[in-house]
Structure 1
Amino acid sequence: MKRYILTFCAFVALFFASAQNDITQFLGIPIDGTKSELMSKIKKKGFKKTKFGDHTVLTGRFNDTDVNIDVVTNGDRAYRVMVWDSHPSNERMIKIRYNNLCYQLKNNDKYGSSRKHGAYVKLGN
């Protein structure tokens, strides 16, 4: 019985250890750590600090578009990168960019489409 419990504990430890290696990335940077750490790493990719309202965001080019980037946190830990256009877009431009993004994801082996939701999801590493 002791052997079964130790084996089970080893599998649980292995599961959690492997789960930690699958962290979502943005521009090849793991979305992990504090906001300032993640913003610093994104800044090294060529983005510049800019005041946006009452806080600071990063601006630069992403996917051939001028964008603003901010890091969303849960407490002090980063868990999401928010990207939005620097310049206002009309409905027609939004549709064109959406279709271009779908085309890019369709031709990328890392992503696949979900027929149920019509969205592209990451398939793996």
Structure 2
Amino acid sequence: MRKVVLLFLMVLCGIVSSFSQEPIKFLGIPVDGTRVNFVRQLQSKGFIRNIKQGQNTFRGEFNGRNVNVRVVDYHGKVWRVLVSTDIISEKDIKISFNNLVYQFDRNKKYFSLDSIQTISEQEDVYFGILQNKRYEANYYLRPTSADQELLSTEYSNQIRKQYGDKKFKDLSEGEINKFYNETLSWSLTRLLKNHVWFMIDKLDNIIDSYQILLFYDNEANHDTDSDL
């Protein structure tokens, strides 16, 4: 068991040390920096302000559809880009959702923790929503080696802070268990910061009207714990 845990930790160290801390991008624009700068880049791609939907909402084309894009910041930094499609009928919403899942599944930039996220042909979306069922799919930016040196240094510092210069083989069982939990928490916290997810939204008071809401989130810029 000790060898298995140590092997897992060493593999996990390698994964964490290679993933990128670069912020997720929307249409090639980093979800980061000031809203003014992000909007400037968005407008350079042909998006125009959609005053009817709000001061921070823009109209343009994304993934072959006309969409509205809302830019959300927190403490002066952009952390979310919300994309909303035009109205889609109940007949087509399931197809649109599944097609988006297939696209993300094929895109090597992303990975998911869920094996199946499509909606089955037999599923009644209208009834499901009435029962408060949520149709949602989640993806995360796949690890790269762009920031390998930076993250390796940070991770090494975390180990030294807790255990000095001890090697894996010198750790006690108690230290191994503690190290395991800390490593897993530390890894997931960083790995899941760049999050893309989408869901089906039923428009209230409009018959047979749905839309897909797509979120590009940079959670590194949304540290609400600092407000406490």
| Fold similarity call, TM over 0.5 | yes
Q: Which residue of 1 aligns with 2:70?
A: 70
- Which letter maps to 2:104? L
8 Å CA contact 2:67, 2:84 repeated in 1 = yes
Contact 2:35 2:78 in 1 (8 A): yes
Aligned residues of 2:113 and 2:139 also touching (Cα < 8 A): yes
Partner secondary structure for residue 50 of structure 2? strand
Determine the structure 1 residue equivalent to 2:97.
98
**CA distance change for structure 1 residues 123 and 32 in 2, over 3 Å: closer, same or farther?**
same
Identify the structure with the greater helix proportion. Answer: 2
CA contact (8 A) 2:25 2:31 kept: yes
Aligned to 1:46: 46
How far off is 1:33 after superposition?
A: 1.3
Shift of 1:116: 6.4
Contact 1:112 1:120 (C-alpha < 8 Å) held by counterparts? yes
Contact kept in structure 2, 1:111 and 1:120, CA below 8 Å: yes
Find the counterpart in structure 2 of residue 121 from structure 1.
Answer: 140
Rounded to whole Å, the distance in 2 between the matches of 1:83 and 1:21 is 23
Within 2, Cα distance between the matches of 1:24 and 1:54?
A: 24
Q: TM-score, normalised by structure 1?
A: 0.72
Shift of the alpha carbon at 1:51? 0.8
Distance 1:96 1:81 in 2: 23
Deviation, structure 1 residue 60: 0.9
SS of the aligned residue for 1:22 comes to coil
SS of the residue aligned with 2:66?
A: strand
In our comparison, the structure showing a higher alpha carbon Rg is: 2
Residue 111 of structure 1 corresponds to 110
Give distance in 1, aligned partners of 2:26 and 2:105: 19
Q: Greater strand share, 1 or 2?
A: 1
**Secondary structure, counterpart of 2:88 in structure 1:** coil
Q: Whose RCO is larger (CA < 8 A, sep 6+)?
A: 2
Stretches of structure 1 lacking an aligned partner (at least 5 in a row): 1-17
Aligned to 1:4: none
Q: Indicate the RMSD between aligned Cα atoms, in angstroms.
A: 2.5
Structure 2: how far apart are the matches of 1:68 and 1:76?
A: 22
1:58-101: per-residue Cα shift (whole Å, max 9, x none)? 1111011110011111122111101001x222233221111111
Q: Partner residue of 2:125?
A: none
Partner in structure 1 of residue 192 of structure 2: none
